[in-house]
Each structure stands twice: as structure tokens, then as C-alpha cells.
Structure 1
Amino acid sequence: MCGFAGFFDCEEPLTDEKYLWMALARRMAGRIAHRGPDDRGVYVSKACALAHARLAVIDPANGAQPMTFTEDGFAYTIAYNGEIYNAPELRDELRGHGYTFQTSCDTEVVLKSYMCFGEQCAEKLNGIFAFAVDDEQRGRIFLCRDRFGVKPLFYTFSGSRIVFASEIKALFEYPGVQPEIGRTGICEIFGVGPARTPGCGVFENIREIRPGHCARFDRDGFSEYAYFALEARPYTDTYKVSVEKVRELLEDIVERQLVSDVPLCTFLSGGLDSSVITALAANKLRAHGQSLATYSFEYSGNDTYFEPSSYQPDRDEPWAEKVAALLGTDHTTLVCANDRLVNLLTDAVIAKDLPGMADIDASLLYFCREVKKKHVVAVCGECADEVFAGYPWFHCENPAGVFPWSPELSLRTGLLKPEIAHAAGIEAYVQERYAETLDAVPVLRGESAKNRQFRALSYLNLYWFMATLLERKDRCSMYSGLEVRVPYADHRLIQYVFNTPPEIRAPHGVVKGLLRDACRGLLPDDVLYRKKIPYPKTHNPHYEQLLKKRLSDILRDPEQPIHTLLSEEAVQGLLHETFDYGRPWFGQLMAGPQLLAYLLQINIWLNRYRIRITL
């Protein structure tokens, strides 16, 4: 995993002031150096400047980037971030086309796939990736992002140039690119946030290559297009066949994602999803005489203050320890203190360039920082609930025009000044985004209304909620130079399960029964059938007190930028409220304290990025 940044100009050559552009590209990449602490590289051609920060995972001794190869007198140069899990097969296929290889890293495979197959190379890649290729022959820059957006790639335009980077902060290093938000930004933060509309960069004039999309920029202009889209297909398998296919896919996916030349571990909560991945990984490594390290996460005071709810009926720690002992892993429980959690809200904003899932982000950032002390790669159980319909909202009626993980929009919009809320038109904006997504859902002729609704709900979760969690995972892990892999986000698994009807994913009403049955024999039944538990959060009232004090201090300071947006009366009412920790306003975790933390993050964001509001 890595980070890269650069720009491409179709009209004015860069070679006349090469060292000036080289220095600018290097500064841009320097803003995201946390993504790649192992090596730096920069490259300037006639039309393109590329800079790279490398986290060495495969073939650490080689694979420096940007990487250039020449064919028929034309240079092709790549800056790449990701892992390609079918690299061995692609390497063999390319050898059949006459290509030779100088390294064992994925970067060379991706570049030579582009050289051989052109823009169709994206369809051949199985992995998590974002990359840019300076194609000298065609006079074009080619940008590409993996199918479900595990790896990021943002861009903007400046005159005759496209400017791009792995994270938004690098774009602001480019002269003239300023942090501004208008109506779209307000609606994203207070309407769909901490989710984000696919392709939207929240800041004015900043976009992101959408998941499963490529883009080209040359003298003919800019065009972005899909190379992958989920397809609606008839389900013709028996349940037994589905169980076998899911097990085979998971076995193959995990084995591919264990390839690493640096220390690797798994995140283990003791829940179904992470326990399955950990069991498969431990078994694979044990067969090669290797052991597996595992980590679970907890908060100071949860042993005292935790109260069961419908979302979190019990704590993870005892279950994680049980599974670790069963599988013989080297297990560590990391504990985050509440004062540290509050302080890390700032780092979490800087990591994401946006307000996010508040302390849910901050804690993951802390845990990843601790994991990185011993490991470079982690494998996690993220995305299983989106794929196998594990969330409660999959199993209840979804109100029209409402994202099911964010049903009470008024909790946020009611905090805005009335004139700001009116000018932004947040409710209409959110309904437009919801309707656009439903219009994009693939349709299967003759499908029952129940199955159509289930398919639509699956699609919403995959392209919105899963994308939010993947963004969180990437930024919070890469902020410490830790690579986190997500086996459940493999496109082969998602495409297959997407077409299974509700009675297959939840046979006899057993939520995620397909996944549970596919993994029989890996784990004892009490683990396989443990009720879903979300990512852990603090239940210590001291955390809430810390948040209320900090927000009160901000309200007393008239210079704080959040005053331009919020109704002081509404926020004061929030500060005096007694919160129901089991009643989330976003997802399953973000309740009252997380709303306070989200507001703190918005103020931090406005301050740190010196954002100009143009609404």
C-alpha cells in the first residue's frame, strides 16, 4: 500500500521547468507521506508529474515508484497504490504475450497489464487498487480505482491540467486549489455524513474516481466510465450449492490475501465475521508451519459501564479471547483511554480530510497505530454485513426516501441555523441522492417485489454504507502506514451473493445463515451463531462529559468557525440532554455522544483546513 499524487497537462509541456514541477509533485506526496513511510520517488515527463510514497509489502527491495517501462519507443509510467491478489496468474498470462519481469511486485504486473491490454486491464485485476498511468504513446493520463473503492483516488482541474492524489490534502498543496464548501458540502456533512455520495469530494470542485470506474484525460478532454457494475442474474443454485460456493470462495480469497513479505496479523473481535477470517488464516498459516497474531479492541471503563442493548447485547473481549485460544493465535487486547479518544478526534479529521465517524474513527486510528508497532499488514472482517445482509435494517421495512442507516435526519439539520438549513435544502438533496441510487440498481425481469426491495437494499448498503466503512478503514490504517485487507469485499464473492434471495442469505430467518452454514466446522456453534455485535465503542460516561466540556468551550468562543453554521440555542439544548446510548442516528454506533463528537470534528475541520463557506 502506498500514496501518490501528480498532475497532467495536455497543452503546456512540463520539461521546460522540470525541477519546479518535480518539487511541486514531491510536496504533494509529502502531505500523504504517512501512507508510504518506506520510500519516496518522483518522475516528470513532457506532460505528467508523478510522486509516490511507498509502503513496501511485496518485494521490499525492489518495486520503487514511479515505475517506468518502454515499449516501441514510448514510455509508460505508473504510480500505484494497492494489492493485486491474482498477480501470479496475470504474470503468467503476460509472459505468454512476450513480457518479462524484473521484480516480483504487483506494480510491474499492473503497468505491463496496461501496456498489453490497454484500458481493459482493469477488468483483469482482482484486488484493492488505485493507480495512474502516464501513457506517452497516446498522450493521456489513465486513472483507475478498484471495484468497490477500497483504495482512494481524488482529482480536480486547474486550467489545462488535471490534478490527482490518494487523499484530498495533497490536492491543496497545488497552487490555486482552495478548501471551499458550498451547498453540496453543507448537504454532505449535515445530510448524508459521515457517509459520502460516491464520487463526491465534499469540497467545491473536488471529485473522486468512483468505485469500479476508470478515467482518461487527454486533448479530447476528460471522461470517466465504469468497467465494473454489479449485475442482476437469476438465482438457479440450490442452497447446498450456495453454501459450497461461498466456502470455496472464502478459502481462496483468504489464501490470496495472506501473501506478504512483511509481518501480517488479523483483527479479531470474537464475532462471526472476524472469527471466520481468522480461522481460515490460522489454518492456512499452520499448514505452512507459521502462527498468526491477532488483535482485539476495548475501551477503558467498558468492563464497568457497558450496558447491553439491542445493537450490542454483550462485550467482545471474552469472545475474542476464546476464539484466539481455540485457534492458538498470539493474541493482544488493545485498550484505548477516553481522554486519548477525545484528543484523537483531531487526528481522525486530518486522516480523512473530513469529519467522520467521530470516536469510531479516532479509536480505530489509535488501534492501528498500536498494531503498526509490530505488523505492517492486517486482515479484517469488514463488509460481511453489507454482503450477507447482517444489519437489522435488512430485516425490516425500509421507509421510502430514507437511507436505512440514517433514518432521523432532523437530529443534524435541526442544529443548523434556520437560514443555513433553508438555503441548503438538505432534505431534498438527500432524497435526490437516494433516488439516484435506486435508479442505478440492476433489475431482473420477473423478480418478486420482495426480492426487488431486498436487492435494492443490498445495493444501497454496498455502494453507500460499505463505502463509508472502507474509507474509514483505509484512512485510519494508512495514517499509520498499516495496510488492512478486506476479504469480504472481493468482487467475486459480492457478485455471487448479491443475486441470492433473502431466504438464501437468511435461511429459516437466521440472519447471515448462508455465511454461518458455509463456515461450519471452522468454529464452534456458539461462535458461529453469536448475535452480530458492531465495532466496539466506549460506554464510559466520562467520555460524554469530556465532549460536553469541549463543545461548551467552543460555544463560548465567538471566533470559532462553527458559529457560522450552528444554532447556539439548539446546541445548548443538546448539551443538556440525557442521551440514549442505544439509539443511534447513524449506523449502529453513533448515538448522542457521537453527535457531540461529530460537531467537534466539524469545528476542527473548519479550523484546520481554513475552509471558506460559499453558501
Structure 2
Amino acid sequence: MCGITGWVSFDRDLSAEATTLHAMTETMACRGPDDRGTWAEGPAALGHRRLAIIDLPGGRQPMSLATPEGTVALVYSGETYNFTELRRELTDRGHRFTTDSDTEVVLHAYVEWGDALAERLNGMYAFALWDGRRDKLVMIRDRMGIKPFYYYRTPDGVLFGSEPKAILANPLARPRVTLDGLRELLVMIKTPGHAVWDGMREVEPGTVVTLDRSGLSTRVYWRLETRPHEDDRDTTIATVRTLLDDIVRRQLVADVPRCTLLSGGLDSSAMTAIAARQLAEQGETVRSFAVDFVGQTENFVADELRGTPDTPFVHDVARRSRTEHQDIVLDAEALADPAVREHVIRARDLPTGFGDMDASLLLLFRAIRQKSTVALSGESADEVFGGYLQFFDEDARSADTFPWLVRFGRHFGDDSDVLRTDLLKSLDLDAYTADGYRTAVAGIERLAGESDFEFRMRQICHLHLTRFVRILLDRKDRMSMA
């Protein structure tokens, strides 16, 4: 939710750069149709486009707080799911709040704990704080990289934004892609920190990036760790169920209409059932939506990637959980519409993606937006619970590369022949992929007494959670915000 952008320039007064700041902010209009705001003071300027979810009148941004030492200002995208508990703790410490928004809680949490607030947050977020007390910019991204966040160094500071288009709206940013950017564009591995555009970087998940007059520094506040699993089966089941109940309950908190995305698979079905039960306790009915295609169920042909049609399972779950359900049925003409395809490319900032899968997701969200603003989905559950077929495919498991590339290559083939031979040789995509794979597995710890098979499954899980899931999270974010 929301779009953020900003500019820090230690050699100038950015209060005189309103036109450029406005241009950067307006590129994020698709992420925030409900409100816009800008703030500038000395070397810092912040822009925000808002999608209102919590405290519709009180959550306007940029949000600032005057202190005796100087002003602290914030632009924030996402949601902090434990903001109620944090607000209570901060109130006990003497903080006073004027709104009911989670944004104000994050602002006060920074004043209280500095960038150590990151360890206290439960949520999905990307936010930037200008600390006028110390002339310092602090950029923080959530643990798994659910919300996007990019930055671009300049000779005297930095540009940042939720999407590259916000940064590229500033004349200081050169819209250039080198061979290394093309490599990242053409392989399906999502190298941490890589942003394709030359000079641009991602704030990596679980990371704090700080800029002051002495330069740029980074601090990792969370990373995926290897630990032995010592709980028995019953304890594991109880723990997972408790976590799922808590996750859904927290993510249903909103002052706008909510819904679930229901595909009929285990993940979305469990989430929808839990949401339906929780909302029923409040006397409400959950809305559910599914995407379908004209003639899909009647003419379904199983293939390696999909063995059954979704719709019968979707309808079973909708009936059992008594949801207010709607199928969004698309046809080939809608998917092939040049305007839809252009919309997808502009949303992604890059001429690559998942083709019709992107277009169908965009059209699904466009239809849902007529009735709901917040949608819960089962995205990334396959990475957490090992639901992909490549977890069970011996060729994919034993390959000395990213497992999904084996399965996708088998199903979709190799389309690298569309590139010029000389360019293909210069790119050397095989070497780039091999280098990326070696880097990805190098830091995965092996537990004492772990068998080769157990270690390989741990590697595959780690690869999916640190590489593949980020591809899907970025796609879901871009299409939903568009």
C-alpha cells in the first residue's frame, strides 16, 4: 500500500525543488489514489501517495514530529500489524498520539528506539525517515521484501522510491541499463540488491540503509537462519495453526472493505476458511474472488505444471466457508488488449515478466478494486511449506542450479535464440546464472548429523525463500498497486 519517494542532497536546499519532487511523487499515483503529500526542509525532500487503509482521516503523509533537537519526518508504505501493542508500550514511555494510524506509531517508535525499531516491527513495509536532529536518512525494508524499495546514489546524496520510475523522474538519475543489468533482466533468479538500472540498488529485505554526510552504511537486522527443528509433530501442527490464526487476524485489521484471493489450493483455502471463521465472530461475511478463463474448466487439459482445473475446488471452499464469492472470468480478447499489456509493462518498469499471467493478475485486481481495497492471498506459502513440484522432482533437486529453472526450462523451453548471437555471447547468461547459484548456496549452513538429502532440501527451501519468492512478491505488488 502507498508509494513513497524522496531526495537527499547535502549541497542544496531542496525546498526550492518542488517541481522535481512533485514529478517524482506523481509517478507513484497508481500506488496511492486517495491522497498525496510532499515535505521539504533543507537538504531533504519527501513525497507520498496514499492508499488509505487504517485511520482514513488521520494517516496523511509525509508525517513529521517536532523535537527539541530538530524535526523527524516519515514516508511509509505498508502495514505494521503489531502497531496496537507498540502504541501501548510507547504511551507507557510518555509518547502522545494524535491519530489512530500505524504510521504515527512507527514515527514515534523511531524517536524512541532509533533504527532498532526495525527488530520490533511485525508487518510488511518500506519506509524512509529524515532525522533532522542528525541530518540523516534512514531507509528500512521488511524482512522478506514484501514491499519494494529502491535507491540511487548521487554525488551529494541519494534518490529513493517504491519503484524505479519515481527515481528516474529526477534528472539526476540516468535511465541506463548495462550488460549486467540485461543479465539480471533475462534470468529468473532475482539477485539480492540488484535493480537492473545502472547505479540503482534495492534496499535488501531485512536491512537498514543509512545515509549521512559521512556516507552510506547498511545494517542487516534479520536474515533467514538455519536451526534444528526439535518440536514433535503435534507441537509443530499447533504452532503453525496458532501462527496462521494470528497472521490472518492481524491482516484483517482495516477500515476499508477486505477480501481473500481464493484459488482452491491448500494455502488460499486454509486462509479463506480462517478469515471466514474470524469475521463470522464479528457478524461479517468474507468476500472471496477467483480468476477463471472462458472455457477453462470445460476444456481443461492437464500438463506438467497443473493437473486439475481450479474452479471446482474454489467453489467447494466458497460453499463450505459461506463466503460471498465471485469468479472474475477473463477471455482471450481481454488478455490480448494492447492497453492492458502496456499497463503491465509500465507497472513493472521492465519489458519482462510472466506474460498473460501478469495481465490476468492485473485484470483480477482491477475487478476486485470495485468492491475491496485489502486482499489477503496465499502468496509465498509454497516457498514456506515446500509446495512446488520442484521440491519433489529428482532432476530439479539434483541439478547444480536453481531448481525452478530446471522445471520451467523443461516446460517452456529456451527462448534465448531471440537475442542477437553477438549479444548472447557477451551476456554469457549461463555463467551469470552459475555464479548467482554458487553465491546463493554458499552461505547456507549445514546442521550436524544432517543427511545429504535433508541438506539439499534445506538448500532448496532457502533458495526459494531468498530468491524465487522475491520474484513473485514483486509481481504481486506491482500488479496490485497498478
TM-score class, shorter-chain normalisation, is over 0.9
Q: d(CA) in 2 for partners of 1:46 and 1:459? A: 43
Which residue of structure 1 aligns with residue 400 of structure 2? 401
Aligned residue number for residue 287 of structure 1: 281
Deviation at 1:149, TM superposition (A): 0.5
What TM-score comes out, normalization by structure 1 length?
Answer: 0.75
Shift of 1:252: 0.8
Secondary structure of 2:46's counterpart equals strand
Query: In 2, distance between residues paired with 1:214 and 1:306?
Result: 47
Superposition deviation, residue 95 in structure 1: 1.3
Q: Is the 8 A contact 2:76 2:103 kept in 1?
A: yes
Name the CA distance, whole Å, in 1 between partners of 2:177 and 2:333.
Answer: 31
User: Is the CA contact 1:216–1:223 (under 8 Å) kept in the aligned structure 2?
Assistant: yes
Distance in 1, Cα, partners of 2:51 & 2:271 = 24
Equivalence for 2:33: 37
User: For the residues of structure 2 that align with 1:54 and 1:401, how far apart are their CA atoms?
Assistant: 44
Matched with 1:459 is 462
CA displacement, residues 403-460 of structure 1 (integer Å, 9 cap, x when unaligned): 1111239713333211111111211111111111111324434433222211111110
2:42 is aligned with 1:46: yes
Aligned equivalent of 2:386: 389
- Tell whether the 8 Å contact from 1:191 to 1:413 is kept in structure 2 after alignment: no
Find the aligned partners of 1:48 and 1:443 in 2 and give their Cα distance: 45
Task: Specify which of 186, 202, 211 is matched with residue 205 of structure 2.
Answer: 211
1:246 and 2:249 equivalent?
no
Give the Cα–Cα distance (whole angstroms) in 2 for the partners of residues 312 and 208 of structure 1: 33
Equivalent residue, structure 2, for 1:364: 361
> CA contact under 8 A between 2:275 and 2:286: conserved in structure 1?
yes
Deviation at 1:400, TM superposition (A): 4.1
Give the counterpart letter for 1:405 in structure 2. W
Could you say which residue in structure 2 is the equivalent of 1:177?
173
Q: State how far apart, in whole Å, the 2-side matches of 1:6 and 1:100 are.
A: 27
Identity %: 38
Matches within 5 A, 1:16-415: 18=15, 20-192=16-188, 195-343=189-337, 344-354=340-350, 355-397=352-394, 398-407=397-406, 408=409, 411-415=414-418
Q: How far 1:365 sits from its partner (Å)?
A: 0.5
Task: Please tell me the residue identity of whatever aligns with 1:154.
Answer: Y
Deviations 1:36-87 (A, max 9, x none): 1111100001121001000110000111100000223311000000101111
Q: Deviations over 1:549-585 (max 9, x none)?
A: xxxxxxxxxxxxxxxxxxxxxxxxxxxxxxxxxxxxx
Q: Are 2:5 and 1:9 equivalent residues in the alignment?
A: no
Task: Give ranges in structure 1 of 5+ residues lacking alignment.
Answer: 480-615
Aligned to 1:426: 429
Structure 1 residue 152: deviation in Å?
0.6
Report deviation, 1:352. 1.1
Residue type of the partner of 2:380? C
State the Cα distance separating 1:154 from its structure 2 match. Answer: 0.7
SS at match of 2:153: strand
Distance 1:357 1:421 in 2: 21
Gaps of 5+ in 2: none
CA contact (8 A) 2:261 2:378 kept: yes
Summarize the Cα distance change of 1:109–1:442 in structure 2 as closer, same or farther, 3 Å threshold. farther
Aligned with 1:103: secondary structure?
coil
Q: Cα RMSD between the aligned structures?
A: 1.4
What SS is found at the alignment partner of 2:128?
Answer: strand
* Residue aligned with 1:321, SS: helix
Partner of 1:537: none
Residues 230 and 442 of structure 1 are in contact (CA less than 8 Å); yes or no, is this contact kept in structure 2?
A: no
Question: Partners of 1:9 and 1:31 in 2: how far apart?
Answer: 20
| Paired amino acid for 1:250 | L
TM value normalised by structure 2: 0.95
Show CA shifts across 1:320-346 (max 9, x none). Answer: 112111111111000112122122222
Structure 1 distance, partners of 2:298, 2:270, is 29
SS in 1 for 2:404: coil
Greater than 4 Å deviation, 4+ residue runs: none
1:253 to partner: Cα distance:
0.8
**For 1:156-212, what per-residue CA distance to the aligned partner results, in whole angstroms no more than 9, with x for missing partners?**
1222120000011111110032322111122112223xx522211111111110111
Corresponding residue to 1:450 among 450, 453, 466: 453
Give the drift of 1:318. Answer: 1.7
Looking at structure 1, the residues matched to 204 and 354 of structure 2 have their Cα atoms a distance apart, in angstroms, of 21
Q: Which amino acid aligns with 2:403?
A: P
2:473 matches 1:474: no
Change beyond 3 A, Cα 1:442–1:118: farther
Shift of 1:299: 1.2
Query: What SS does the aligned partner of 1:63 have?
Result: coil
Aligned amino acid, residue 163 of structure 1: L
